[in-house]
Amino acid sequence: MSRLSETYPPDRVVLREVGLRDGLQMVDRYPSTTAKTEWLRQESAAGVGHFEIGSFLPASSMPQFADVRQLIDVCDDLNVHSAALVLNDRGAVDAVQTLVGEIVTVVSATEEHSQANARRSQKEAIALVGRTVDLARNAETQPVVHAGISMAFGCSIAGEVDPDDVVRIAVACAEAGANVIGLADTVGVAGPDQVGDVVRRVRNELGNVTLSIHLHDTRGMGIANAYAALDAGVRVIDGSLAGLGGCPFAPGATGNVVFEDLVYLCERKGFATGIDLEKLFSVRELAATEMPNEQLSGGLPRAGTPRQINWRA
């Protein structure tokens, strides 16, 4: 069995918890390494198996991710899958020298956001995907390479995004060797029909490539869009504990789809996640203590799981 099929089995839904990366990008105060370790430990005990835990960026610009290497080792000790973001060659080189299970690169669907987010063109970003793939293939651990297409459903800088451009970029990333192609609603502008349409277009072009979806709940469409993505065949979905998150280089980008609500959606649709929601709820207490000024969102944590019906049915 390949590393990719072990990480993302095609016959089941995998939920990636991105709270320790995307969730911490814009916070005023972030958890200590000890608290992050406990976050991982508690979520692992609740059945969460996939985490995006930081970025290989200079600590001077993103001090909240200075402990990314330590958290990768924590994930290895817990026997859970770790992913980390890289935005340049130095980050990719550093990443392959660790035990990280997945390296996430980003290609923007618009040139305007590409320059604002990473100070490079789309062409240069796709070239970085290829170089990262080469590094990963030659690394002892051979991590999965995930090419995320940001602003795939609309851009707060450039406006409308042509789905044909998203398909073109997805094809280029696949040709560069990316194992996973991600579609990101970076600023939460998408609706369910649009999500389903773009996913189907990419799948029609690339066949059985592993697709992921990364959704923000900026306008309350996160769960509806996740539903549409599932119906269109996506089996890897990102969510953030308590809906934490945002992008400092994307005006208007607020929190991610709430991970807890996403678990409930999948279970109600008949996809077993293996995640114990009651145990997951307790991690919110840790987040609230470490980041008292952050809003913690989520319909399910507010209302609780139904007691009088079989909510997994």
**Would residue 247 show up in a list of annotated catalytic residues for this protein?**
yes
CA 189 to centroid of chain Cα atoms = 17
Lookup: tokens for 190: 């998408």
Sign of dihedral through CA atoms 145, 5, 193, 176? positive
Lookup: tokens for 9: 């089995």
Lookup: tokens for 31: 């958890």
Lookup: tokens for 299: 């319909």
Nearest to 83 by CA among 50, 132, 107: 50
Lookup: tokens for 80: 């859970």
Q: Would you mind telling me the total number of residues written for the chain in this entry?
A: 313
Out of 75, 155, 173, 247, the active site residue is 247
Lookup: tokens for 229: 């993505």
On the 0-12 / 13-18 / 19+ scale of CB atoms within 10 A, 160 is exposed
Contacts of 130 (CB under 8 A, 6+ apart): 176, 177
- 80 to 6, 18, 297: CA distances (angstroms): 12, 13, 25
| Residue-by-residue DSSP string for 203-214 | HHHHSS-EEEEE
Active site residues: 247
